[in-house]
Structure 1
Amino acid sequence: MGLPAQSVPVHSASAGFDDFVASRPDEEAWELIGGLFVMQAQPTIPHSVIASNVERLLNDGISTSGLDLIACREVMIDMSEAGIVGGGNYVPDVAVLDEADLLEGLSRTGNCLLAVEVVSPSDLRILTGTNRPKIDVKMEGYRNLPPCRAIITVDQSELLVEVARRTEQGWSVTRHDAPEDEIVLADFGLRCTVADIYSRTPALRNALGSDPKP
Structure 2
Amino acid sequence: MAVAARRETRMCVAEYRVWVEDRPDSERWELIDGEPLLMSPPRERHQAIVANFIVSLAGLAQEKGCRALPRLAVLSAAMDDFAPIPDVIVRCGPLLPDGYSSDPILVAEVLSPGTMSLDRGRKTDFYRSVSSLHRFLLVSQDEARIEVWRRAAEGWAIDILYGGGILDLPELGGSVAVRDLYTDIVF
How high is the TM-score relative to the length of structure 1? 0.79
Q: Give 2:51's aligned amino acid.
A: S
- Aligned pair count reads 184
Comparing both structures, which one devotes a greater share of its residues to strand? 2
Comparing both structures, which one devotes a greater share of its residues to helix? 1
Q: Give 1:31's aligned amino acid.
A: E
Deviation sequence 1:7-55 (CA, Å, 0-9, x none): 4334333482123212222100111111111111100001001011111
- In structure 1, runs of 5+ residues without a counterpart are 126-132, 207-214
The whole-number CA distance in structure 1 between the counterparts of 2:148 and 2:5 is: 31
Residue pairs, 1:20-169, within 5 angstroms: 20-63=19-62, 66-79=63-76, 81=77, 83-84=78-79, 87-98=81-92, 100-103=93-96, 105-125=97-117, 133-169=118-154
- In structure 2, runs of 5+ residues without a counterpart are none
Larger radius of gyration: 1
How high is the TM-score relative to the length of structure 2? 0.89
Flag as ranges the 4+ runs of structure 1 deviating above 2 A.
7-16
Cα RMSD (Å) of the superposition? Answer: 1.8
Change in CA separation of 1:36 and 1:14 when aligned onto 2, cut-off 3 Å: closer
Q: Give 2:85's aligned amino acid.
A: V
Q: SS state of the match for residue 183, structure 1?
A: strand
